Structure 1
Amino acid sequence: MGIKSFQGARKHQKSEENVPLKVSDYMTRKLITFRPEQSVEEVIDALIKNRISGGPVINEKDELVGIISEGDCIKHISESRYYNMPLEKNKVEHSMVKGVKTIDGNMNIFDATQKFLNEKRRRFPIVQDGKLVGQISQKDILKATVRLKSQNWGKQ
């Protein structure tokens, strides 16, 4: 007598068409941004007050010109103390990272995950038609996976 396997009734899974998979579905749209002419001290205050680790730097046309992070601010503090320069004299444009890599808002969330792993970055700005429209962070990717799991992978 052979062994029979019974899996039971299969549950109908939601089609993947209903599951949002684009970066634009998970990106943050309300951003705290900085201007090149701001002082690094203002940025430090904003980072602490808003409990963020960095943010995009935009010009008067809302075009992305750089990004500034806690690390950039720490580097600025270290260098200004070493050379005995006052903090308030230095501007964001001298401390920010220029030539920032961005992610397309239409990119698949899983491709974005690979970009995070390959580039070793904490956040990527999203630019559309030359203007900053949002940002996706590693935390946004984690939130997306939790949301996708609840919709797609089922609960045990």
Structure 2
Amino acid sequence: MAIKSFQGKRDTSQGKEDAQILVSDYMTKKLITFKAEDTLDHVIEQLITHKISGGPVVNDKNDLIGIISETDCIKHISESKYYNMPSDVNNTVGMYMATGVDTIDKNTNIFDAAFKFISSHRRRFPVVENGKLIGQISQTDVLKAAISVKGNTWNS
């Protein structure tokens, strides 16, 4: 007489992934945004006041048109303030912002987002839906998600 199995009935849920953690679960939805016509002095004040390192630039329809960062503002400082030149009214966000911005989809798995951060050396990605800015995911948001997963599924 042959032995059928010592393992008992198999759990059919083994091997199935738990619900995915998505970018939309951790992205920031209330953002400090800028317009292309804003002055860089205004941007610098906002970055310092809100303790942020950059922000998305949108038009009147909330379409993402660029990103302005501390680095972009430092370029402005090095080009004018360093040489004690007066602030030019034409020193606008539109002149210094980065265009052609990399974005990320709200339905991206948070760990795929982490890989995108590693491979791109970016600190943040705007989240866009149908061309409209709906949020932003940062490296800190990915870390928060990782801590959440550790608390729920990993052994401490």
TM-score by length of 1: 0.84
SS of the equivalent of 1:37 reads coil
The aligned runs of 1:1-156 (5 Å cut-off) are 16-18=17-19, 20-81=20-81, 85-89=85-89, 90-154=91-155, 156=156
d(CA) in 2 for partners of 1:85 and 1:132?
Answer: 35
Q: What's the % identity of the aligned pairs?
A: 58
SS across alignment from 1:17: coil
Q: Over aligned residues, Cα RMSD in angstroms?
A: 1.7
TM-score by length of 2: 0.84
| Deviation of the 1:86 alpha carbon | 2.7
Specify whether residues 87 and 16 from structure 1 end up closer, same or farther in structure 2 by C-alpha distance, changes over 3 A only: farther
Structure 2: runs of 5 or more not aligned: 1-15
Q: Runs of 4 or more off by more than 3 Å in structure 1? A: 15-18, 81-85
Do the aligned partners of 1:26 and 1:140 also contact (CA within 8 Å) in 2? Answer: yes
* Secondary structure of 1:79's aligned partner: helix
Q: Size of the alignment, in residue pairs?
A: 141
In structure 1, give the amino acid aligned to 2:133.
L
How far apart, in 1, do the equivalents of 2:24 and 2:86 lie?
41
How much does 1:48 deviate? Answer: 0.4
Would you say the 8 A contact 1:40–1:87 is kept in 2? no
